[in-house]
Chain A
Amino acid sequence: MSSASAAIAEFLQRHFPARAIGDTDDIFESGLVTSLLALQLVNFVEGRFRIQLADEDLVQSNFRTIAAMAALVEKYQR
């Protein structure tokens, strides 16, 4: 697991301590994501990794799984 994946997993674990969320589990499909959490995910990714996401990256598919979010972060860190 990359450091980005670990940090994202830790964030989600804080939000859903009773749920085990795997790297490729779809958090939208599971019904876990409210409109508030969607915003918090964006805020977290931008704040934790000090990146500013471009408009075209603010799409659900980039936030669907821990792996997708980690890949997004890594794209900005390259």
Chain B
Amino acid sequence: MDERGLQAFVADHVRPHALAADRDGQFAPDLLERIGAAGLWGWNIAAEYGGGGHTLAECGALHRQVGAACSSARALLTAHQMTAAAIQRWGNAAQKARWLTDLSTGRTLAAFALSEAGAGSDLQGIEARAEAVPDGFVIDGEKKWITGGAIASVFLVFARCGAAVEAFLVPRAAAGVAVCGIPPMLGLRAAMLADVSLRRTKVASDARLGPADAGFRFVAPAALEFGRAMVGFGCLGMALACLREATEHAHTRRAGGTPLVNHQLVQGLLAEMVTAVRTSDALLAKAIALIDARDAEAGLAVLVAKYQASQAAVSVSRDAVQILGARGCAADSLVQRFYRDAKITEIIEGSNEVLKGLIARQAGLML
């Protein structure tokens, strides 16, 4: 599917359901199936496993387009594709064969189970434990606020194993796994969040992703790098959609005998919105280019891009609500929905406070 086809799919199948999904806190199952039939779940998975084999930039386009229509759908895609990316990058041949084909079609949906009550972006704070036993591992832990957790069939679970943090592919059907859906929250209300409990959950030795001691060193950073970039593109999509709505309203709504757009204070808001959107676009494009080039600055560029894009999504959606006034506050308004969704993006894939710490540390080393 090319970008035009993607745009048409989103317009026909995602955007019309976004409002109901936000209201109800869930998607109709047939929409998730249509997303699968269109190849969106497997967008970043290699063609040999039935995926789209799309580049990072094309993954960004997917997240921007879907993000401009429905942040919850975008969030489900991000979580699923983060896990798929981790398997593609760090999985052995057997793990790829077992999981990637079903992840491509969406027959199996995946979730990224990192967060805990006391450990979000801070991997060092993880308390889930994996005990090595002769024929595998036994995992105990409580994972919280897992995007897509309510509908996922496999979880990429991070757990402490001795001194290391390892990543494990844990089927939902494994004994000892309990999933508890979380009522819709402030934003991303249809992202199907769940708490995932693992009690003496036994997995085979080949459930560990990557070599020993790779969970913290390689698997999580690589998946988070992908996830942060894609959340950034989703933010860009939200900001673009809000800018479009605000601009249209400013040209049609009249106040004081003239369209809103002729008022300098409204012009000021629109100028700030355009600048924020263009900055996000440029930073995200640069980050993607640096990742593709395996450049030394790629990690820092992704952190900066996600941090800025999430802030931009908040400020642009807030200003769009302001320009649309009462219409922007209505229950069926896209801009108020994105204002709530945007706030969540300042918290997920590393809160902006955590990102600022990482940015400062990275930048400090580079001086």
Report which A residues bind B (CB closer than 8 A).
11-12, 14-18, 32, 34-40, 42-44, 46-48, 55-56, 58-60
| Cβ–Cβ < 8 Å partners of B221 in chain A | 35-36, 38-39
Q: Please, which residue of chain A has its CB at the minimum distance from the CB of B211?
A: A55
Given A16-B365, A38-B218, A39-B222, A58 contacting B210 (CB threshold 8 A) = yes
**29 sample A-B contacts, Cβ–Cβ < 8 Å, listed by A number:** A14-B296, A15-B296, A16-B366, A34-B362, A34-B365, A35-B216, A35-B217, A35-B220, A36-B225, A36-B299, A36-B300, A36-B358, A36-B362, A39-B217, A39-B218, A39-B222, A39-B225, A40-B299, A42-B218, A43-B298, A44-B294, A47-B293, A47-B294, A56-B211, A58-B217, A58-B218, A59-B211, A59-B213, A60-B217
Separation of A11 and B296 alpha carbons in the complex (Å): 6
Separation of A43 and B225 alpha carbons in the complex (Å): 12
Separation of A40 and B358 alpha carbons in the complex (Å): 15
Which one, A34, A36, A55, contacts B92 given CB within 8 A? A55
Chain A: minimal CB distance from B212 (Å): 8
Given A15-B365, A35-B217, A40 contacting B211 (CB threshold 8 A) = no
Which one, A38, A40, A58, A60, contacts B296 given CB within 8 A? A40
Q: Does B163 contact A (CB under 8 A)?
A: no
Separation of A14 and B362 alpha carbons in the complex (Å): 12
Q: Please, which residue of chain B has its CB at the minimum distance from the CB of A40?
A: B299
A32 near B299 (CB under 8 angstroms)?
Answer: no
A40 near B298 (CB under 8 angstroms)?
Answer: yes
Separation of A46 and B236 alpha carbons in the complex (Å): 31
Which one, B214, B303, B367, contacts A17 given CB within 8 A? B367
| Cβ–Cβ < 8 Å partners of B303 in chain A | 36
Q: Does B361 contact A (CB under 8 A)?
A: yes
A38 near B366 (CB under 8 angstroms)?
Answer: no
Q: Does B123 contact A (CB under 8 A)?
A: yes
Separation of A43 and B299 alpha carbons in the complex (Å): 11
Given A34-B361, A44-B294, A39 contacting B210 (CB threshold 8 A) = no
Q: How large is the interface on B (under 10, 10 to 19, 20 to 34, 35 or more residues)?
A: 20 to 34
Chain A: minimal CB distance from B294 (Å): 4
| Cβ–Cβ < 8 Å partners of A40 in chain B | 294, 296, 298-299
B299 near A58 (CB under 8 angstroms)?
Answer: no
Separation of A43 and B123 alpha carbons in the complex (Å): 21
Q: Does B24 contact A (CB under 8 A)?
A: no
Q: Does B297 contact A (CB under 8 A)?
A: yes
16 additional contacts (CB under 8 A) given A47-B293, A58-B218: A12-B296, A14-B296, A15-B366, A16-B365, A17-B367, A34-B361, A35-B221, A36-B300, A36-B362, A39-B217, A44-B294, A55-B92, A56-B211, A58-B214, A58-B217, A59-B213
Separation of A60 and B164 alpha carbons in the complex (Å): 13
A18 near B294 (CB under 8 angstroms)?
Answer: no
| Cβ–Cβ < 8 Å partners of B210 in chain A | 55, 58
| Cβ–Cβ < 8 Å partners of A43 in chain B | 294, 298
Q: Please, which residue of chain B has its CB at the minimum distance from the CB of A13?
A: B296
Separation of A14 and B221 alpha carbons in the complex (Å): 20
| Cβ–Cβ < 8 Å partners of A38 in chain B | 217-218, 221
Given A58-B211, A59-B211, A32 contacting B222 (CB threshold 8 A) = no
Chain B: minimal CB distance from A76 (Å): 16
Separation of A32 and B214 alpha carbons in the complex (Å): 19
A35 near B211 (CB under 8 angstroms)?
Answer: no
